[in-house]
Amino acid sequence: MSTTEKAGLSQKPYNVKYIPNPSQEELRELALKHTPSIMKTAYGNINKFSRLKARMAKLTYCIALGSDKDNYSGKIIDPDKARELIERQKAYIEKKGALVEIDAYYGYGDRAVPVQWLYTVEAANVAGMQQVLAFPRSAVEGKDQLERPFQPKFRLVYTAGMHLEDMPGKLAIVVDLENWTTHVMGSDYFGETKKGALRMLNEYAYRQGGLVLHAGAKKVTIDGKAMTMGIMGLSGTGKTTTTFSKQGELAQPIQDDMIVMWPDGTLSITENGCFAKTFGLTPETEPVLYAGSTHPDAWVENVFPNADGTYDFSKVRLTPEEVARLKDMLIVSGAPAENVEAFINGKVKIEDVVDEYDIPEDGWDFTVWTQNGRSIIPMRAIKDAASFEDIPPLRSLGILNRDEGPDAAVPGIVRLPTPEFAAGYFMLGETSKTSAAGKERGKTRSPFTQPFFTSPFGLQPQRFTELGAKLPGLQTWLMNTGYVGGDQKDEEKGEALKVKIRHSSAMLEAMLSGRIKWKKDPDFGYEIVDLDATENAELMSKVPKEILNPKVFFEAKGRGDEYKAWVAKMKTEREAFLKKFSVDDNIVKTVVNA
């Protein structure tokens, strides 16, 4: 334990005026006054156009000596350089003269961790969003503790307007684990403050014998019995959508993004709200998230505003007229002024700068609206949310893989029958890159879908195996939330299948209620839906058999050789990936069905 951990963080680290714990109304006023590219909408909530449209994992650094780099999963920064950047941030803050202070908790109950967030006023919108997600002191502390000064365990310092000319991207996220402090310099994207605190929680919980899972959670009641289901997944895989969809007699969301497994077999939550992807929201397909995102108390980031102040959650390509209407805000949020003018005047047409997948060339991002729009929704605005006072035991835990591309062949749902299977596939963290990753496309792997685990990734399957042993009867599974045999363009041409929200809900409900007859997959050894079993007739009436077993799709299309090549490729790549992190040989052999 460091000296800082023993003594606690100082309450006021900067010589400035503090704006302590303003109300949501006050934060909205501050945001509308000080935050660039922001507007009040027809719904009464706030919408911000951020310069950055995703987290900058490649520009996030833990403070460490080069000789210690193997003790970290991501990039490190030399302590001397880090101190110099932190001093520059301090000078920037004290020149600005004011900080918005949010004192609150990540978590609820005995496991809650006190966090202090500090923001320069141009990031007042981020402060407002973070305050929604955190639990207030009054929800965690008793009367006597409330009367004493707040004692944070973690601190996050956020300076959105500070640009670092000598650093890649002109920004840096510096993580000081010795002092449990994260410094965000130059980013205006909300995800950096949210994940900054959760990244520190990952390390803190691991040191306490626990493990943070990048997972949503919901209380599901089947045949009168309640359980907690955890849903792991990288951003964009459908984690939030799945968490807020209905299965069984009653499904009540508990947590949107991260849960903690503790060594005594218990589960704890982290946040008091939801950070939802908004692209494609409709009242029919995702009524809870749609209602929440249009609620007056929501904060919204990067959602397209119609001329009347309402939202278009499915906006992709912009017309010159729409760019002209939003011209000033687009330029303030980073669009090159000369390109904006050229597009408005018709000198450059969208076909000149955007490909068939709606990926724009550098400098022309403003012509295609980001699909990484987000909303912050307080739990009180979520219909039928579960009570934090009564969270049932974790009995079901799965991982989402949004498969996409010509070799998309992951079954709609897979049962992982042993702890070794679960540890292996959770460690693989497979999916296709989505809009949350910016312009990048293609397949990716992220151990335990957990890019926020600062220690070596190979520690995660080991810890999960230890903790999973304390959860007898835990059901583990994998679900494809993407495509079979192609992508969106292929589906539009009838050459691929999309796994739709209704398919996912039907598969999960059948699994949770024990109404699936499984069979062993001959290639990978995990269990898939038996298409020949009469017990599965009801499920197959709701979900195409080609989604339940993609091999059927590939063979019917005369693409059987592609499927065989995919199997061989997956085994080779998965084995190499797991061995790279020194995963236990038994887990590796299980995954490759050796």
For 472-511, how does the pLDDT look when each residue is reduced to its tens digit (9 = 90+)?
Answer: 889 999 999 999 999 999 999 999 999 999 999 999 999 9
- Using the Cα atoms of residue 120, residue 124, residue 130 and residue 135 in order, give the sign of their dihedral: positive
pLDDT of 441 = 54
User: Which two three-digit tokens encode residue 71?
Assistant: 């003790």
Structure tokens at 432: 């296709």
HEC profile of 109-172: HHHCEEEEEEECHHHHHHHHHHHHHCEEHHHHCCHHHHCCCCCCCEEEEEECCCCCCCCHHHCE
435, 503 contact by CB (below 8 A): no
Q: 440: pLDDT confidence band, cut at 50, 70 and 90?
A: low
In 106-161, alpha helices (H)? 124-133, 137-140, 143-146
pLDDT over threshold 80, residue 576: yes
Confirm or reject CATH 3.40.449.10 for domain 3-34+56-188, answering yes or no. yes
Q: In one letter, which amino acid is 528?
A: I
Whether the full predicted model's pTM is greater than 0.85, yes or no, is yes
Residue position matching structure tokens 């950070």: 275
Check if 3-34+56-188 and 212-273+383-591 are the same fold: no
What distance in Å separates the CA atoms of residue 381 and residue 274, rounded to the nearest whole number? 10
Packed helices 459-468 and 419-428: angle between N→C axes, nearest 10 degrees? 150
Alpha helices in 181-311 (DSSP H): 191-207, 239-243, 287-293
pLDDT exceeds 80 at position 1: no
CATH assignment of 212-273+383-591, given 3.40.50.880, 3.40.190.10, 3.40.50.300, 3.90.228.20?
Answer: 3.90.228.20
Strand pairing category for 46-48 and 299-301:
parallel
Neighbour-count burial of 36, counting CB atoms closer than 10 A to its CB (0-12 exposed, 13-18 middle, 19+ buried): middle
Per-domain residue ranges of the chain: 3-34+56-188, 212-273+383-591
Of the segments 174-183, 352-361, 424-433, which one has the largest average pLDDT value? Answer: 174-183
Q: Report the distance separating Cα 546 and Cα 541, nearest Å.
A: 12
Q: pLDDT by residue (tens digit) across 518-569? A: 999 999 999 999 999 999 999 999 999 999 999 999 999 999 999 999 999 9
State the Cα–Cα distance between residues 11 and 232, nearest whole angstrom.
35
Question: What's CA 317's distance to the chain center, in Å?
Answer: 25
Question: For position 473, what pLDDT does the model report?
Answer: 86
46, β-bridge pairs: 40, 299
* 200-250 pLDDT per residue, tens: 999 999 999 999 999 999 999 988 889 999 999 998 899 988 998 887 777
Short-list 503, 502, 513, 504, CA closest to 535: 513
Strand order in the sheet with 394-401: 250-255, 215-222, 225-232, 394-401, 475-480, 413-415, 527-529, 518-520
Query: Residue 223's pLDDT is what?
Result: 85
- The pLDDT of residue 10 is 75
* Per-residue pLDDT tens over the stretch 375-403: 999 998 888 899 998 899 999 999 999 99
Q: Is the pLDDT of residue 443 over 90?
A: no
Instruction: Read off the pLDDT of residues 280-335 as tens digits, 9 standing for 90 and up.
Output: 999 998 999 999 999 999 999 999 999 999 999 999 999 999 999 999 999 998 99
Which residues make Cβ contacts (< 8 Å) with residue 319, sequence separation at least 6? none
Start-to-end CA span in the chain (Å): 43
